[in-house]
Structure 1
Amino acid sequence: MYKLLGSLKSYLKWQDIQTDNAVFRLHNSFTTVLLLTCSLIITATQYVGQPISCIVNGVPPHVVNTFCWIHSTFTMPDAFRRQVGREVAHPGVANDFGDEDAKKYYTYYQWVCFVLFFQAMACYTPKFLWNKFEGGLMRMIVMGLNITICTREEKEAKRDALLDYLIKHVKRHKMYAIRYWACEVLCFVNIVVQMYLMNRFFDGEFLSYGTNIMKLSDVPQEQRIDPMVYVFPRVTKCTFHKYGASGSLQKHDSLCILPLNIVNEKTYVFIWFWFWILLVLLIGLMIFRACIIFIPKFRPRLLNARNRMIPMEICRPLSRRLDIGDWWLIYMLGRNLDPVIYKDVMSEFAKQVEPSKHDRAK
Structure 2
Amino acid sequence: MYKLLGGFKEYLKWQDIVVDNAVFRLHNLFTTVLLLTCSVIITATQYVGTPIQCIVNKGLPARAINTYCWITSTFTMPDAFLRRAGSEVAHPGVANDYGEEDSKKYYTYYQWVCFVLFFQAVMCYTPHWLWRAWEGNLLRTIIMGLNVGMCKEEDKTKKKKALIEYLLRHVKRHNMYALRYWFCECLCLINIIGQLYLMNHFFDGEFFSYGLRVMSFSQQAQEERVDPMVYVFPRVTKCTFHKFGPSGTIQKHDSLCVLPLNIVNEKTYIFLWFWYIIMATLLALLVVYRALILALPSIRPRLLHTRNRYISREVAEAISRKTEVGDWWVLYMLGRNMDPLIYREVVSELAKKIETAASNNP
Shared fold (TM-score, shorter chain, > 0.5): yes
Q: Report deviation, 1:28.
A: 0.1
Q: Report deviation, 1:357.
A: 9.5
Q: Does residue 339 of structure 2 align to residue 338 of structure 1?
A: yes
Mapped to 2, the partners of 1:308 and 1:148 lie a distance apart of: 17
Match of 1:105 in 2: 106
Q: Report deviation, 1:245.
A: 1.0
Gaps (5+ residues) in structure 1? Answer: none
Percent identity, aligned pairs only, is 66
Q: Which amino acid aligns with 1:2?
A: Y
Q: Report deviation, 1:149.
A: 2.1
Q: Which amino acid aligns with 2:50?
A: Q
Q: What TM-score, normalized by structure 1, do the two folds share?
A: 0.98
Q: Does residue 40 of structure 2 align to residue 48 of structure 1?
A: no
1:220-299 → structure 2 map (5 Å cutoff): 220-299=221-300
Note closer, same or farther for the CA distance 1:196–1:358 as it changes in structure 2 (3 Å cut): closer
1:300-315 → structure 2 map (5 Å cutoff): 300-315=301-316
Q: Report deviation, 1:320.
A: 0.9
Q: What TM-score, normalized by structure 2, do the two folds share?
A: 0.98
Note closer, same or farther for the CA distance 1:115–1:356 as it changes in structure 2 (3 Å cut): closer
Mapped to 1, the partners of 2:138 and 2:229 lie a distance apart of: 48
Q: Which amino acid aligns with 1:184?
A: E
- The aligned length equals 361
Match of 1:172 in 2: 173
Q: Does residue 11 of structure 2 align to residue 16 of structure 1?
A: no
Mapped to 1, the partners of 2:186 and 2:60 lie a distance apart of: 54
Match of 1:89 in 2: 90
1:129-140 → structure 2 map (5 Å cutoff): 129-140=130-141
Q: Report deviation, 1:80.
A: 0.2
Q: Which amino acid aligns with 1:146?
A: N
Q: Report deviation, 1:236.
A: 0.1
Task: Please give the per-residue CA displacement for 1:141-183, whole angstroms capped at 9, x wherever unaligned.
Answer: 0000001121111111111111111111111111111110111
Mapped to 2, the partners of 1:357 and 1:270 lie a distance apart of: 55
Mapped to 1, the partners of 2:89 and 2:74 lie a distance apart of: 17
Q: Report deviation, 1:354.
A: 2.0
Match of 2:36 in 1: 36
Mapped to 2, the partners of 1:246 and 1:357 lie a distance apart of: 99
1:171 match: secondary structure: coil
Note closer, same or farther for the CA distance 1:154–1:61 as it changes in structure 2 (3 Å cut): same
Gaps (5+ residues) in structure 2? Answer: none
Q: Report deviation, 1:353.
A: 1.5
Q: Which amino acid aligns with 1:293?
A: L
Task: Please give the per-residue CA displacement for 1:225-284, whole angstroms capped at 9, x wherever unaligned.
Answer: 000000000000000000011100000000000000000000001000000000000011
Mapped to 1, the partners of 2:358 and 2:299 lie a distance apart of: 25
Note closer, same or farther for the CA distance 1:87–1:152 as it changes in structure 2 (3 Å cut): same
1:354 match: secondary structure: helix
Task: Please give the per-residue CA displacement for 1:111-142, whole angstroms capped at 9, x wherever unaligned.
Answer: 00010001000000000000000001000000
Q: Which amino acid aligns with 2:100?
A: D
Q: Report deviation, 1:217.
A: 1.4
Q: Which amino acid aligns with 2:271?
A: F
Mapped to 1, the partners of 2:46 and 2:92 lie a distance apart of: 23
